[in-house]
Amino acid sequence: MIGRILPPLFSGTLFGAGLALGGMTNPARVRGFLDLFGDWDPTLAFVMGGAVIVMAIAWRFVPRMAHPLFAEKFALPTRTDLTPKLIGGSALFGMGWGIAGLCPGPGIAALVIQPSSAAIFVISMLAGMGIIRLVEGNS
C-alpha cells in the first residue's frame, strides 16, 4: 500500500513546490502575465517554457517504454478532434484563470501558502465540477 502512495505523493509535492517557486500560486503574478496590453509580467513564460522543454524530452522516452514506472499502461488521449464541449470548457477555464489568477494545480498548492483565499477558489472549483457532473448525468 505505501509503495503505491509514495510516488504520487512525491510527484505531487514536487509539482506543488515547483508551482510555488515559479510564482504560479500568486494570483497577482498570473494576472500580470495575462495582461498583455497593460503592465505585462513575462516571468511565467519562463516557467511554462521550462515545463514545455521537460515534457518535450519526456515524450521522446514514451515510445521506448513498455509501460510507465508505476502503472500497468500509459493513459494517453486517443481523440484528436475539437468538439464544442472542449472549446467551451477551454474558454471557461481561461476566463476563470484570468479572473481568479489560479487554475486547479496552483490553486491546490496555494492552500498551503494562502489558505483562506485559495480555499474559496478550490471550493468553487469543486462545486463547478460537481455541478457539471450533475448536469451531464455522470457520477
Tens of pLDDT along 30-78? 889 888 898 899 988 898 899 899 999 998 998 899 988 888 888 888 8
Instruction: Give the residue among 89, 120, 78, 121 at the shortest CA–CA distance from 102.
Output: 121
- What pLDDT, on a 0 to 100 scale, did the predictor assign at position 62? 87
pTM over 0.85: no
Please identify which residue in the block is written with the cell numbers 502512495.
Answer: 5
- What pLDDT, on a 0 to 100 scale, did the predictor assign at position 122? 93
- What pLDDT, on a 0 to 100 scale, did the predictor assign at position 91? 93
Are residues 43 and 29 in contact, defined by beta-carbon separation less than 8 angstroms? yes
- What pLDDT, on a 0 to 100 scale, did the predictor assign at position 126? 93
- What pLDDT, on a 0 to 100 scale, did the predictor assign at position 138? 61
Are residues 6 and 14 in contact, defined by beta-carbon separation less than 8 angstroms? no
% the chain with pLDDT above 70: 98
Are residues 42 and 33 in contact, defined by beta-carbon separation less than 8 angstroms? yes
Are residues 67 and 60 in contact, defined by beta-carbon separation less than 8 angstroms? no
- What pLDDT, on a 0 to 100 scale, did the predictor assign at position 127? 93
Q: Is the pLDDT reported for residue 139 higher than 70?
A: no
Cα 43–chain centre separation: 18
String of DSSP letters for 42-76: THHHHHHHHHHHHHHHHHHHGGG-SS-TTSSS---
Q: Is the pLDDT reported for residue 2 higher than 80?
A: no
Name the grid cell of 45.
513564460
Q: Cβ of 25: how many Cβ atoms within 10 Å?
A: 24
**12-39 average pLDDT score:** 88
